[in-house]
Amino acid sequence: MAKYAKGHVRRPDKDHLIALSHARHGARLQHMRTSLFPVTWDSRALGLIGPVKDQAQCGSCWDFSGTSLVEVAYNRAGIGGGPNKFILSEEYTLSCYRNGQCHGDDNTTVLDWAKAHGLPLTAEYGPYKAAPGQCLYNAQMTLYKIDDWGFADGNGGSDVTPIPDIKAAIMQYGIVGCAVAADDAFQAYTGGVFQSTQSDPSQIDHDVALVGWSDTDGAWILRNTWSTSWGEQGYMRIAYGANLVGTEAVWAVKHA
């Protein structure tokens, strides 16, 4: 079996970031979770989700997870040109500011930068090369900023985010980024509902995105970055909580 690149490395200041987010957003998130949720939800059907990407042999899953939240925030706001056009550059992140590059980092690193500075389109910056290089950014490139981001757990927890909170965030923001333990069984997935094979928090090593759910299956719809040849055309149906999926789920927003 081919080994896929991963690359989640938890930020040392993550607990502080979670506490700040909870202070700002906790009450609102708790109110959101009281909503009645549909049995199924799929943000792909709403035209919010772009093509599946491929991180290749670079531990940049964190980069792709964070970037996908920025893309969807713009798509949900109805600006940028839509999911097949508004495709932001992961290569810019690897090459133009301080982070773990292909050695791994955290999806919130991207969200921090996207809020403060913004990300350019791949069409402007250039193609993904699966390795950091010379920064090619110039002042003529547009940088697309988000207005805010935060953690989805209404209780301010730092483990697997509660199911109602993830559902509420997906409905509100279109997508959440999160971490998962991508063990051998996870990597070998080809279809169906993936059941838990790992429950050790120390094995969490991969950042992904969740775009919907099915209560009928008891599963999230997970969007990966290992190309469309993996799983179900680049996606996975993964049982709630399996392999600690949903750990430290995050959202991002852009106002129209």
| Active site residues per annotation | 61, 206, 224
Long-range contacts of 2-5 (CB under 8 A, 24+ apart): 2/187, 3/187, 4/182, 4/187, 4/226, 4/230, 5/55, 5/56, 5/57, 5/58, 5/59, 5/60, 5/61, 5/102
Furthest-apart CA atoms within the chain: distance in Å: 50
60, 90 in Cβ contact below 8 A? yes
106, 33 in Cβ contact below 8 A? no
Contacts of 214 (CB under 8 A, 6+ apart): 39, 40, 221, 237
